[in-house]
Amino acid sequence: MEAVRQVLAQWLARQADADEAPVLAWPLAAGEAISQQAPAREFAAGCLRLEIRNPAWEAELRRLEPELLARLRQVLGAPRVQRLEWTRGEEKATSR
């Protein structure tokens, strides 16, 4: 399984101009539990937008944001994602 993750990470790193690369990289960087509870919806202007399915995850995302951004940089090979933003239904919450 690790070999598959490495191949996927290398492919994502080569997608330099693809706005969907951070969205595709999110499950790999965040892990299964986080990406299921807060799936990535879109990427624009350095911001990866997530949808929180359970409001209790907001505090966890805030706590883990620096680590998650570092993981995204590792997977993508560049610091393309500058911040995370999340929504809970109609409401929008940002990490800052």
The total domain count for the chain is 1
Task: Please give the pLDDT value at position 77.
Answer: 76
Per-residue confidence band for 74, with pLDDT thresholds at 50, 70 and 90: confident
> pLDDT grade, residue 41 (50/70/90)?
very high
Round to whole Å and give the CA distance between 69 and 27: 13
Comparison of pLDDT for 38 and 1, the residue scoring more: 38
User: Residue 15 above 60 pLDDT?
Assistant: no
For residue 87, what is the domain's CATH number? 3.30.300
- Please answer whether residues 47 and 69 qualify as being in contact, where contact means their C-beta atoms are separated by less than 8 angstroms: no
Q: Which domain holds residue 82?
A: 2-94
Q: Is residue 53 over pLDDT 80?
A: yes
Q: State whether residue 96 is helix, strand or coil.
A: coil
